[in-house]
Amino acid sequence: MRDFIAHPEHGIVWISGASSGIGRALALRLVGEGYKVAVTARSHEKLVELQAEANGLSGSIIVLDGDVTNAEDMEHVMASIEYEHGTLAMAILNAGVYLPVHAEDLNRTDFEKSFAVNLSGVVNCLLPAIRHMKAKGQGQIAIVSSVTGYGGLPTGAAYGATKAALINMAESLKFDLDKMGIRIQLVCPGFVDTPATRKNAFPMPSLVSVEEAAREIAAGLKSQAFEITFPKRFTTMLKLARLLPYSVYFTLVNRVTGWRERPPSAGRHPVTPHAAE
């Protein structure tokens, strides 16, 4: 039996972190394909701008403000979808922040905020979404992680840790969700050209635009694949790198990024969100 694939006639798509980056581009892509998309973020103004940009497309945007770190906010968003707008067919849990970590200047706040948004924020959306889908007997969930979750990379001690946790979370939940008729997928993009990645202090091979990322994700959501990852050659190389002995892995990453040659203070940059909160 084929896994459930949400089409516009099945109901609403909910995207968290939709005010910028991948989430915003994906919302526009899906609206263009005829979906009704509920968008959530803390920035009401950006969501309203997104709604206006979607005017004239075959689908529509529903603006539902909320902070993913607030569990009550996400319960209210889910209640609004269910009681005011219709059935939730798909949830794309995308909100996240990238806070670069440097060991010479560790900051507890960077870790706490990363965990709150990237990990707990997903859980806060996941619980009400699964509850709703369980009652309907079907649904589709996509958790947006990152290839940084495959293995440790420079400045990724907080961000990468949350993305690795999301990979494990999606893999573990799949066993039970399969039996409930709820399809779960894992999205692991490579480097995507966003305001956050533009501040990275190391080379970013195989960089793709947010529009290309949205196109890849939208296509993957309609496939039977568990993992949606792109660009394939780059992400496959990263997966294979994790099979190497640690001594080889660390040497390889240092060589590719040039990180070992950088002085301790090099590469610092302001805190910038990876996706909308």
Interhelix angle for 121-136 vs 159-180, to 10°? 10
pLDDT in tens, 38-48: 999 999 999 99
Give the whole-angstrom CA distance, residue 229 versus residue 217: 8
pLDDT in tens, 189-230: 987 877 666 656 666 667 789 999 999 999 999 999 999 999
> In this model, does residue 135 exceed pLDDT 80?
yes
Confidence of residue 92 (pLDDT cuts 50, 70, 90): very high
Q: Model pTM?
A: 0.92
- Which residue segment(s) compose the domain that 112 sits in? 12-257
Tokens 């793709």 found at: 208
Domain-located, residue 266: no
In this predicted model, which residue has the larger pLDDT, 10 or 263?
10
What is the pLDDT at residue 274?
42
pLDDT in tens, 136-180: 999 999 999 999 999 999 999 999 999 999 999 999 999 999 999
Do the beta carbons of residue 140 and residue 89 sit within 8 Å?
A: yes
Domain-located, residue 272: no
Average pLDDT of every residue of the chain: 91
Tokens 């909910």 found at: 14
Domain-located, residue 101: yes
Tally of domains within the chain: 1
Domain-located, residue 270: no
Residue 101 belongs to a domain with what CATH number? 3.40.50.720
Domain-located, residue 188: yes
Domain-located, residue 4: no
